[in-house]
Amino acid sequence: MLERLDIENFTVFSKASFEFAAGLNVIVGENGTGKSHVLKLAYAVIAENNAQVRKDGQNSASEGNGSTLKVDYVDKLMNVFRAESMASFVRAGKQPPFSGGASLSFTDAKFNCSFTHRKKFKEVVTFEPFPSEQWEVVKVSFIPARELLTIYPGFISLYEARYLEFEETYRDTCLLLGEPLLKKPMTDLLVILEEAMGGKVLLERGRFYLVCDFGKVEMPMVAEGIRKLAMLAQLVAVGALQKDSYLFWDEPEANLNPRLIKLVARVILQLAKAGIQIFIATHSLFLLRELEVLQAAEKKPVPQRYFALKQGTDGVEVEQGNAVDDLQTLVLLDEELLQSDRYMALEQ
């Protein structure tokens, strides 16, 4: 489990710490406050840890100068963020030397890792991953704000052969979507999703379909909100989401109506109950409140943590608590109340 993320001079953050819950972690804030950056940073490092395991534990990350910009961890960070260099991540300070970085702390300390970028006369990137002989593969998924089933046909081969302005999370998730189905996936979750979609997901000859009562429907012909549920169902079916895995989900509510947002909230908590550590970034007060309602009805609520990001005088500041009501800065709620005031004024 990821317990803590410490960031210094990284993108919009001057200095920030995130203390995560074992179950559900929700990040809220206005556009430009770094919600997606937090998800991508943690995801990129964990995903590259997995890649190193698959390389038989041969660690290619080492300290040096310009050559270290090509090591695997640097490449992964740049590809996930679609940055041109590590210097793009460093938040400019008031005086040199300019440096930035982050550290990730896990329940099992052998997984702890960190990186630092320094720039004075030359760029130096330092990575301190854990010993290779202790590495283990853990399942990690990143669901972007848009669905991927419609771009899936041929996307991976095209991405590998050509330069595309798509974040590498798209490629990683497409790889997961194409994995063989599990014999025994989390059936209860699949039933919930398939009822909402009105059918089952089918991958046939490199294309996705929704199989329903009136036939096999090509995914581009399916409503986008249903396609997002279908993508989640496929990740469950192939076993990308299982106990002791990680799920990073950017704006789960995007392109969903309130009825489907209620379903997504239910599924998120079901995944957390199954032992998956979940990180979501959202703009939706409706989703936040639905998660609260569902949690309140539980005899044993899922461990949860909420984070509100706001622009401060020296970068983005982080407020955190164990419930939405613990957050003093909640722009989503402020704007909803202001809109209600404006609406009431029309009646007067």
Q: What is the pLDDT of residue 62?
A: 41
Residue 51, pLDDT score:
82
Q: Which of 20-24, 73-77, 90-94 has the lowest mean pLDDT?
A: 90-94
What is the mean pLDDT of the segment spanning 62-76? 59
Asked if residue 189 has pLDDT above 60, the reply is yes
**Token reading at 107:** 């329940």
Contact 10, 265 (CB under 8 A): no
Q: How confident is the model at residue 65 (pLDDT cuts 50, 70, 90)?
A: very low
Could you tell me which residues are beta bridge partners of residue 250? 281
Nearest partner of 20 among 37, 47, 42, judged by Cα: 42
Separation of alpha carbons 330 and 270, rounded Å: 26
Give the pLDDT confidence of 90-128 residue by residue, as tens digits: 776 545 556 788 999 999 888 888 888 776 656 667 777
Fold of 2-139+242-347: Rossmann fold (3.40.50)
Mean pLDDT of 242-268: 92
- d(Cα 231, Cα 85) in Å, to the nearest integer? 31
When pLDDT is averaged across residues 243-265 and rounded to a whole number, the result is: 92
Distances (CA, A) of 287 to 236, 246, 258, 281: 21, 20, 8, 11
Mean pLDDT, rounded, for 52-71: 52
- Domain chopping of the chain, boundaries: 2-139+242-347, 148-241
HSE on the CB side for 169, CA within 13 Å? 27
Q: What are phi and psi of 332, to 5 degrees?
A: -55, -45
At residue 128, the 3 state secondary structure works out as strand
Using a cut of 0.85, tell me whether the model's pTM lies above it.
Answer: yes
**Chain mean position to CA 10:** 17
Question: What pLDDT digit, counting tens, does each position of 303-342 carry?
Answer: 999 999 988 888 888 999 998 888 876 655 566 656 655 6
Q: Above 90 in pLDDT, residue 230? A: yes
pLDDT of residue 61: 41
Distance CA 241, CA 187 (A): 12
Q: What H or E segment, with its residue span, contains residue 202?
A: strand 199-204
For residue 82, is pLDDT > 70? yes
**85 — pLDDT class (breaks 50, 70, 90):** confident
- Cis peptide bond N-terminal to 252, omega within 30: no
Which of 58-72, 101-115, 287-301, 313-327 shows the lowest per-residue confidence on average (mean pLDDT)?
58-72
Q: pLDDT tens-digit profile of 199-215? A: 999 999 999 999 998 88
